[in-house]
Chain A
Amino acid sequence: ELVEGTRRETVKATLDSTCSSGAVEDDSPALKFKVLKTWGRARVAELQLPHHTFKTPVFMPVGTQGTIKGLTTSQVESIGCPIILGNTYHLGHRPGGDVMEALGGLHKFMNWKRNILTDSGGFQMVSLLKFAQITEQGVTFESPHDGSTMLLTPEKSIQLQNQIGADIIMALDDVVSSTLQDEARIEEAMHRTIRWIDRCISAHSRKHDQNLFAIVQGGLNPTLRRQCVSELIKRNLPGYAIGGLSGGEQKDKFAQIVAFTAPLLPTNKPRYLMGVGYATDLVVCVCLGVDMFDCVFPTRTARFGTALMNVEGGGLNLKKSELKTDFGRLDKECKCEVCETYSRSYLHGLVVGGGEKELGQLLTYHNLSYQMRLMKGLQDGIMEGNLDEVVREFFKK
């Protein structure tokens, strides 16, 4: 009740402030994006969503099945994460849209007071490709868990996302792997994405408190990307994402496409680059004008025993045997609770001695703290006008 009441109050406040200021488009009643400062193409903005207001650029941890693996929501909150991801395909399967609706939506279900963004299920077209069949109608998935099939259409995806209740919902797009050499398929996917966005918009029944973001496709082809952007902008949505990247394509091509596409998106709306989470990529793409990022990398690598830090290679593998007698702090720059409490020796002992679960929790906590600190560092650089120094320092390490 408390969460529900607070949410209603927040939405009402959003509507009130929208009406009084008159400075925001009427088609984004549930989102307010105000750029506070810029440095080159990079910008710090205040993003107001129904559950929580925060600053961008932001990194969003992924809690696929309604949990950030190994952490309670109060721990995620204490790390400082303002927004997390949930996945429509997985949650649509278990517990299912109707159960989710009956239990009051994902915020209530997992007891998370801040913001949630749900991915449409589009990425599963790539990650679960061998289980997927894509047609104009939608995607038919065969579940790897129990063999059952699910037809995910734009309408179905949006309906599920309406039931889940996230603050930002993603359109169902036709996603192809960025390493695919088939230009015809990439072009087909780009056009279909545009046709599907209209179906998503029609199906969306909660425009007043859920923000539908469109996703730009087009592979590594600037022409296709430009075409896609110009069509999507016509739909005048609260925000836009760049999809279809971070799938293993070459880094220089990746950066080129982001550099090309990001400025084409409206400056007064959030720009979300999907699936990007390596520190280097985050730094580069913030400089290119991106506001929002998500990735499983920090949490996944934690469970495999790697702590992220500003060292060559980006992290420390705690399995290394020389750490057995290293009683030093995990990350000398980090002030998170894990770094304040445990030595490298102890953490190493957990990796090799059967304490993987406990270690996974601790490193997840640290890695997310690292991500938050990284973003904060970039925000400070923009606000204080010394982003170039910040970036230079980062790359030195």
Chain B
Amino acid sequence: QEGGSETKFNYEVVQGRNEGEGGGGSGSRVGKVKCRGIEFATPSWIPYCNKGGIPSLGTELTLNAHELSRELIPVLQFSFEEFGQHSTTLQKFNQDLHNYVGDHSKSRCVYMAVHDPHIYSVMPCSKKLWIQTPAGRIQMTLKDYISFISYTKPDFFACLSHEVPFSATKKQSFKVVDISLQWLKESISLIQSQSATSTHPFNIFAVIHATQDEMSRKKSVMETIKFDDNLSGYLISGVGLGDDIQNRRNIITEILSNIPQSKPRLVSRIGNPGEVLDCIDLGIDLFNSDYPTFASENGLAITFPFADPWWNETGIRDEERNLGQMNLRDKRYLLDKGALYPSCGCFTCKNHTAAYIHHLLATHEMLAAILLSIHNIYHYQQFFAA
């Protein structure tokens, strides 16, 4: 394909589950994404970022200072919801979003989502997208979005869509799916006309709505896959918004068994390890959430064990570590000279004690969230690696 094949988003399945095993869906697989020379394995977590980068941790400069290298975090997710209102500024800037947020060597991939995974606000469902700004709500059209993409040049992005929860009504579901399909069509034709003048590959993820309304859901799948050749992947939208586990399983299985296995599948808002494992089992490859950083805001260190040597050791200091979450605010850590998590290789565990972090939380210091986030992210990514 024209326009610099190395900027194209490539995905391949490295190892899939045996086709014969288990029900319908494609099942779990290990994959490899290659984009702009950056390679990373899936299943993988994509951290939510606000304008300042990963909450409390920032972008390239501070991430590297905290030893969260691009090998550990290869992708960052930003959103149109947050950056869209600054379109004019970004257009004047005349360089990529990478440069704007301080990643001048473009060492990490940028994924542009429409909606952030950490909040959900109900917006009217119309031919335009509403986004909330400090000065009130503004409307953006599809053309606005594609222009935005063309000058921020993210490595891959989600197609414009509204986000409705699993519990959406028949009427809502129908409307949302209809609009998403229109927007997908228009996006692709706009992209194709752009490719005459631009070498940027526009790696687009189409949106499939996982609603409870069967007819809309099926239409979403069937009509979307017709564009498969133009797509880099699929975003399954609507999960993580009030759906229960069993329904989620059924619906995801149904969806995934009807879309090509050769493209990666992304979900937003799913971060809890149990739920992540569940989705991986069904064949989801990418998870966009703020799970580890959300925990740090609340003084929690994530320590759930997985395929880990110390699981079998005796002399484990603390029940809490075994159970998966340590509440560092608890007074039991007042004199705890050990690291948060024995044998953890993160910056925090190599350099600081649980007692210090307990103190930082007790005194409401910013550094608490920073140190906890570093550990939580590191631990979370080790979980994905395992």
Contact = CB atoms under 8 A, between A and B. Distances in A.
Q: Do A and B assemble together?
A: yes
Interface of A: 65-67, 69-75, 78, 90, 94-95, 99, 102-104, 109-111, 324-325, 327, 337-338, 341-343, 345-346, 349-350, 352-355, 357-362
Interface stretch (B14-22, B191-199, B274-282, B347-355): B347-355
Given A343-B100, A345-B93, A360 B366 contact: yes
Contacts of A358: 50-53, 55-58, 62
Contacts of B58: 358, 361-362
B347 to A, nearest CB: 8
A341 B104 contact: yes
B345 to A, nearest CB: 16
A70 B370 CA distance: 8
Contacts of B273: none
A110 B356 contact: yes
B318 to A, nearest CB: 18
Given A102-B335, A341-B104, A66 B51 contact: no
Given A103-B335, A111-B351, A324 B61 contact: no
Given A111-B352, A349-B86, A359-B52, A78 B365 contact: no
16 contacts: A66-B360, A67-B360, A70-B370, A74-B65, A74-B351, A78-B65, A109-B353, A111-B351, A111-B356, A325-B89, A341-B104, A346-B100, A349-B86, A352-B134, A355-B51, A362-B58
Contacts of B65: 72, 74-75, 78
A313 B134 CA distance: 29
Contacts of B356: 66, 109-111
Contacts of B101: 346
B362 A67 contact: no
A72 B102 contact: no
Nearest to A95: B359
Contacts of A362: 58, 61-62
B334 interface: yes
Interface string B41-68: 0000000001111011110111001100
Given A67-B365, A358-B51, 19 more contacts: A66-B356, A66-B360, A67-B366, A67-B367, A72-B65, A74-B351, A78-B65, A95-B334, A99-B355, A102-B335, A103-B335, A341-B60, A345-B93, A349-B51, A355-B52, A357-B56, A359-B52, A361-B58, A362-B58
Given A69-B365, A362-B58, A103 B337 contact: yes
Contacts of A343: 93, 100
A110 B363 CA distance: 14
B104 to A, nearest CB: 7
A324 B89 contact: yes
B195 to A, nearest CB: 28
A299 to B, nearest CB: 11
Interface string B61-105: 110011000000000000000100010010011000000111010
B371 interface: yes
B365 to A, nearest CB: 5
Nearest to B352: A111
Contacts of A65: 359-360, 363, 365
B44 to A, nearest CB: 24
Contacts of A327: 92-93
A84 B337 CA distance: 23
Contacts of A349: 51, 86, 89
Nearest to A364: B366
Contact of A357 (B60, B61, B93, B366): B366
A102 B359 CA distance: 14
A102 to B, nearest CB: 6
B335 A71 contact: no
A346 B53 CA distance: 11
Nearest to A342: B102
Contacts of B82: 353
A65 B362 CA distance: 10
Nearest to A65: B363
Give the most central of B52, B57, B61, B89: most A CB within 10 Å. Answer: B52
A337 B359 contact: no
A67 B60 CA distance: 23
A338 B82 CA distance: 23
Q: Which 10 A-B pairs have the closest CB atoms?
A: A358-B52, A355-B52, A341-B102, A65-B363, A70-B366, A67-B367, A341-B61, A355-B51, A95-B359, A358-B58
A327 B347 CA distance: 33
A337 B61 contact: yes
B335 A94 contact: no
B284 to A, nearest CB: 30
Given A65-B365, A72-B371, A346-B101, A325 B92 contact: yes
Contacts of B56: 357-358
A72 B367 contact: yes
A70 B355 contact: no
Nearest to B101: A346
Given A65-B365, A99-B334, A111-B356, A345 B52 contact: no
B366 A95 contact: no
A90 B360 CA distance: 12
A30 B9 CA distance: 61
A72 B57 CA distance: 11
Nearest to A358: B52
Interface string B286-304: 0000000000000000000
A361 to B, nearest CB: 7
Given A71-B367, A99-B334, A103-B337, A109 B100 contact: no
B362 A94 contact: yes
A109 B355 CA distance: 8
A103 B353 contact: yes
A359 B366 CA distance: 12
Contacts of B360: 65-67
Contacts of A354: 50-51
Contacts of B337: 103-104
A78 B100 CA distance: 24
Contacts of A361: 58, 62, 366, 370
A74 B57 CA distance: 15
Contacts of A103: 335, 337, 353, 355
B334 A69 contact: no
Given A67-B365, A78-B65, A350-B52, A345 B334 contact: no
Contacts of B365: 65-67, 69
Nearest to A78: B65
Contacts of B369: 357
A338 B61 contact: yes
A66 B89 CA distance: 40
A357 to B, nearest CB: 6
Contacts of B104: 341
